[in-house]
A and B are shown apart, each in its own frame.
Chain A
Amino acid sequence: MSIEVTGVSKRFGDFVALEDVSVSIPSGRLTALLGPSGGGKSTLLRIIAGLERADAGTVGIEGLDATGLPARKRGVGFVFQHYAAFKHLTVRRNVAFGLEIRKRPKEEIRRRVDELLALVHLEQFADRLPAQLSGGQRQRMALARALAVEPKVLLLDEPFGALDAKVRKELREWLRRLHDEVHVTTVFVTHDQEEALEVADEIVVINDGRVEQIGTPDELYDSPANDFVMRFLGPVTQLGSQLVRPHDVAVAVGADDPDAVAGRVARVVRVGFEVRVEVSTGEQLVLATMTRTEFLRLGVDVGTTVSVRVVPGAPVVPVVPDGSPVRSGLEVHAG
């Protein structure tokens, strides 16, 4: 294990940011800390980096107890959401900063910086100031700067959060490829479930200062530990007392299936290749999504009597009685 967080708690005044959090992060992997804003994931990352001090608990990095170590002695690379560029220094000097303060020989610094600039595709921008770069370029510069000192772990706090959707998508694919090349243990914070599912080897879901679930993207998606995780990973709908994904709801014409719930089609919305069918079962509005082809084969329209059931083997989670009522229709959290 590369990072070992044990029993960490942190409060800001009355606000509990983290409560008795324990996480082990494996070496050489790309791990996502996923959760809603204010859930404590950034605080956890900052505690690992030594930028924030935990009220209780310990942090181990590569087998070393780092709990009392200041940030500069932890051997951690940190990338901030808003780049934290050194505005008065050129791209080259930004990347060289960590090496310069370690008083490495000039020739070595030049060589290493050249390598890193090539790695992040910024060779031709070496002599520009950060203000002359786009957001995506600035973030790549920040990444090269963090990698320059060969950190034991690389921590990224919402690294693509300030970028527009297209650049964000490019950069996260690029981060994945970069990680496959560099292999440094990497932890990144995100509130975007798609980003986490797409990029990470392992996901830690954090909410309300607690860890909800740890697992691979497949594990999380196929067997969510609770309704929070299930809701957070994508759209859900409620059928009876169960939470289910709308594409795992099967719709059949007629009301003769004894295992299914009978209802009436209340609304049909087509969004591109996907068709959303809302079925009213009397006390609930159940959402089912299907492809256009499936919809045409089914041949239903508003008012048709149908029966709905969960596809056998699909992941379901019981609805917590005091939990907020599930609306029909799409529930997209964050992203």
Chain B
Amino acid sequence: MPVVAGGRLTRASGLGLGVAMLWFSLLVLIPLAAVVATAAAGGWSGFWQAVTNEQTAAAIRLTVGTAMLVTVVNVVMGTLIAWVLVRDRFPGQRALEVLIDVPFALPTIVAGLVLLSLYGPDSPLGVDVANTRAAVFLAFLFVTLPFVVRTVQPVLAELDPEVEEAAASLGASRFTTFRRIVLPALAPAIAAGAALSFARGVSEYGSLVLLSGNLPMQTEVTSVRILSSIENDNLGNAAAVATVLLAVSFAVIVALDVIQRRVGRRG
């Protein structure tokens, strides 16, 4: 489709670009700029004080660290589950296919209740992780499960099995074939899923708020911290934390893209 004619936008594509930019600005750019502006209102020292506050820093470390760990687990497990769903045939496959989306569909507070009743003080399994960091990890894991699965699955389904057969006939073992042929093809999808998974983890609130206990310095995450800042009428602090999260998420997305390009080219 000709988007550019003689170095200029055609009328239709110009209109399209305008609508897209307006929409994107209203929904994303302006609110984000407002957050950053609010954070900057207190000056650099105010911002620095807010984010280096002992309790806030602990919350940021816990949230970002756990989200990264969960993302790594999701990259491995999500790819594995997608593989099983696409490549294997087994009874109950359709049911599993539907169940994968439950963490998407479930209101997060319901997920929190489920987790609390299963892994809380009255756990029927005898597993009590309430008020521990394991609770945060578990909640993140629960809500981010579908991301990598759902991004990898369609790409894997489109992958031509003959390509793997070609690698095998050239002498490649299954592992070599996976590493050098399949993985590079899946890398963009895995990276996209990982980015979604990380972003969702960092912002999670509802599913962990019941089970984690929100103990300062121990199990308190940034979203809880932001909320308490706002409740204490300290919008500047909240915006400062939000800005840090924004920067971290952006950095992670860029890093994932770089890794993905590397893997995609290497083969």
Task: Count how many chain B residues have C-beta atoms less than 8 Å from C-beta atoms of the other chain.
Answer: 20
What are the interface flags for A65-81 relative to B under an 8 Å C-beta threshold, 1 for contact and 0 otherwise?
00000111110111010
Which of B2-10, B167-175, B194-202, B230-238 is the contact stretch? B167-175
Give chain B residues whose Cβ lies under 8 Å from the Cβ of A33: none
CA distance A77 to B171 in the complex (A): 10
A72 touches B169 (CB 8 A): yes
A93-B267, A101-B176 known; A146 vs B169 contact (CB < 8 Å): yes
Q: Is B138 an interface residue (CB 8 A)?
A: no
Q: Is B185 an interface residue (CB 8 A)?
A: yes
A149 touches B265 (CB 8 A): no
CA distance A4 to B265 in the complex (A): 41
A84-B163, A88-B267 known; A77 vs B169 contact (CB < 8 Å): yes
CA distance A79 to B44 in the complex (A): 64
CA distance A149 to B165 in the complex (A): 15
Beta-carbon contacts under 8 Å, A84-141 to B: 84-89, 93, 97-98, 101-102
CA distance A74 to B264 in the complex (A): 29
Q: Is B88 an interface residue (CB 8 A)?
A: no
CA distance A126 to B169 in the complex (A): 22
Partner of B160, one of A71, A82, A146, A148: A82
CB closest chain-A residue, reference B265: A88
Give chain B residues whose Cβ lies under 8 Å from the Cβ of A102: 171
CA distance A239 to B140 in the complex (A): 80
Minimum CB–CB distance for A197 against chain B, Å? 28
Total A-B pairs in contact (CB under 8 Å)? 68
Minimum CB–CB distance for A230 against chain B, Å? 34
B163 touches A86 (CB 8 A): yes
B185 touches A78 (CB 8 A): no
CA distance A76 to B170 in the complex (A): 8
Give chain B residues whose Cβ lies under 8 Å from the Cβ of A49: 169
Q: Is A231 an interface residue (CB 8 A)?
A: no
B173 touches A72 (CB 8 A): yes
CA distance A249 to B4 in the complex (A): 65
CA distance A112 to B170 in the complex (A): 15
Q: Is B184 an interface residue (CB 8 A)?
A: yes
Minimum CB–CB distance for A15 against chain B, Å? 17
CB closest chain-B residue, reference A151: B169
Partner of A78, one of B169, B264, B265: B169
Minimum CB–CB distance for A93 against chain B, Å? 7
Q: Is A41 an interface residue (CB 8 A)?
A: no
Give chain A residues whose Cβ lies under 8 Å from the Cβ of B176: 101
Q: Is B72 an interface residue (CB 8 A)?
A: no
B184 touches A72 (CB 8 A): no
Give chain A residues whose Cβ lies under 8 Å from the Cβ of B185: 87-88
Q: Is B181 an interface residue (CB 8 A)?
A: yes
CB closest chain-B residue, reference A75: B171
Q: Is A191 an interface residue (CB 8 A)?
A: no
A72 touches B168 (CB 8 A): yes
A89 touches B165 (CB 8 A): no
B181 touches A86 (CB 8 A): yes
Beta-carbon contacts under 8 Å, A11-69 to B: 49-51
Q: Is B166 an interface residue (CB 8 A)?
A: yes
Minimum CB–CB distance for B157 against chain A, Å? 16
Give chain A residues whose Cβ lies under 8 Å from the Cβ of B160: 82, 84
Give chain A residues whose Cβ lies under 8 Å from the Cβ of B163: 84-87
CB closest chain-A residue, reference B161: A84
A80 touches B168 (CB 8 A): no
Partner of B169, one of A71, A86, A88: A71
CA distance A277 to B173 in the complex (A): 60
Beta-carbon contacts under 8 Å, B178-208 to A: 180-181, 184-185
B162 touches A80 (CB 8 A): yes
Give chain A residues whose Cβ lies under 8 Å from the Cβ of B181: 86
Partner of A84, one of B162, B180, B267: B162
A88-B265, A101-B170 known; A71 vs B165 contact (CB < 8 Å): yes
- Which of B171, B172, B184, B264 gathers the greatest number of chain A CB atoms within 10 Å? B171
CB closest chain-A residue, reference B185: A88
Minimum CB–CB distance for A138 against chain B, Å? 12
Give chain B residues whose Cβ lies under 8 Å from the Cβ of A51: 165, 168-169
What are 21 inter-chain pairs, A to B, with CB distance below 8 A? A49-B169, A50-B169, A70-B168, A71-B165, A71-B169, A72-B169, A78-B165, A80-B166, A82-B160, A84-B160, A86-B163, A88-B184, A88-B267, A97-B170, A98-B170, A101-B170, A101-B172, A101-B180, A146-B169, A148-B170, A149-B170
